Structure 1
Amino acid sequence: MSIEGHNGRMSERPGPDRLSKPEIGKDAVQSTVEAAASTVGEVAGIITKAVQDVAGALGGFATELFEIKDASKKAAEEQGD
């Protein structure tokens, strides 16, 4: 059965269920930019965490150096008595 006046061909015009080529291109660019932004954010988070970890390790090392210096000074003072 066919609908009266309908010839069975699809319209060449974009309809509500059909996207135009420029809109498809725009969507592709938008998705690419969103993916890139997400990746940049993820990498920035990784780098930030790595910098924090390095700073923490260096801070811990500096604390140990101060403790070693203080212990050496105390030992030297005890030897001088």
Structure 2
Amino acid sequence: MGDFERNKDQVQAGIQAGASLVGRIAVIITDAIGSVVKEVGDFVTDAIEMREAARAARLDEATRSPEIELDDIGPDELYG
């Protein structure tokens, strides 16, 4: 095997190793982005559910309490 062929094989192996490394890093980054987006989405969902629960509690309190009239509660309190 000549010097040219050995050098070609080394360059080829180096390029293949580099491409494989870039591919693995891309998978890691893609998975990380997906995980972050999922966590943010879950957080927003929880916040929406807490807001709706608070709204329902205010409405329930207004309908059960004789001191509070439904007319005294603004639409922002009832509907967020």
TM (normalized to structure 2)?
0.77
Larger Rg: 1
> Is 1:75 aligned with 2:57?
yes
Matched, 1:27 2:5: no
Q: Deviations over 1:34-81 (max 9, x none)?
A: 000000000000110111110110110011011001001000111111
Which amino acid in structure 2 is aligned with residue 59 of structure 1? G
* Pairing 1:13-24 to 2, within 5 Å after superposition: 19-24=1-6
Aligned with residue 65 of structure 1, among 11, 35, 47: 47
The Cα RMSD (Å) is: 0.6
Percent sequence identity over aligned pairs = 35
Residue 19 of structure 2 corresponds to 37
Which letter maps to 1:20? Answer: G
Unaligned 5+ runs, structure 1? 1-18
- Point out the structure with the larger helix share: 2
Q: Structure 1 residue 21: deviation in Å? A: 0.4
Q: Which amino acid aligns with 1:75?
A: A
TM-score for both structures, normalised by structure 1: 0.76
Q: How many residues align?
A: 63
- Say which structure, 1 or 2, has more relative contact order (CA 8 Å, 6+ apart): 2
Residue 33 of structure 2 is matched in structure 1 by 51
